[in-house]
A = this chain, B = another copy of it.
Amino acid sequence: MQQRSEETRKQIVDTAQTLFAQHGYEATSVSEICDAAGLSKGAFYHHFPTKQMLFLELLDNWLDRIDNTLDQSRWEKADIPQAMIHMANTTKGIFQEADGGLPMFLEFWSQARLDPEIWQATIAPYHRYQKYFKLLIKEGIAEGSLKDVNPHLAALMIVSLAIGMLLQYVLDPQGENWGEVATQSMHLLLDGLARREE
């Protein structure tokens, strides 16, 4: 019993993931998901209270995968700048992890920005990343590998860069080798653009 139930649930999630990525959240109807999954609407609403809740599950899955990817590159590096560069390297994986699903997250979020409940679910992880990098930079300053910059500001910058690149990746996936761009950007950010007097 539980066996079949879980399979069905997984089937719904997987199918929805694919269709959302393909046509977007709004453009994909519950009926379409059911048809493609070879199930009925009854089955769908047996497993999920609303379409939104199904989506939130997808969102959580994705955030979890990001967290894992990010944490992995945290521990092996002794030096903060190196850790940051390594993180930039993993960006490509994060891009692909979403597997074309990024636009749908964006769409969903922009739709649900007025719903307080959904709003919390989306903004919380964002603040988490902000704090994460702030801490990282503080460590870097403490260990002397980074300048004595404003950690909060620097963290905002890094998050901005990440978000900006994610968005551009969505916009134009083929236009650039975004994984490479992420890595090089981190180097550039660490070194600075302006010529120094020597």
Interface residues of A (CB under 8 A from B): 23-24, 26-27, 81, 103-104, 106-107, 110-111, 113-114, 123, 126, 137, 140, 144-147, 149-150, 153-154, 156-157, 159-165, 167-168, 170-172, 176, 181, 184-185, 188-196
Contacts and interface: CB of A to CB of B under 8 A. Distances in A.
6 contacts: A107-B110, A157-B189, A161-B161, A189-B192, A190-B194, A192-B193
Contacts of A176: 156
A62 to B, nearest CB: 16
A144 B184 CA distance: 21
A194 B82 CA distance: 11
Given A24-B111, A188-B149, A163 B167 contact: yes
A157 B194 contact: no
Given A106-B110, A163-B168, 18 more contacts: A24-B110, A27-B111, A81-B194, A103-B110, A107-B110, A123-B171, A126-B172, A145-B195, A149-B193, A153-B184, A153-B185, A153-B188, A157-B161, A160-B164, A163-B163, A191-B192, A192-B192, A192-B193
Nearest to A26: B26
A16 B163 CA distance: 29
A27 B112 CA distance: 10
Please give me the 3 A-B residue pairs with the lowest Cβ-Cβ distance, nearest first: A192-B192, A160-B164, A164-B164
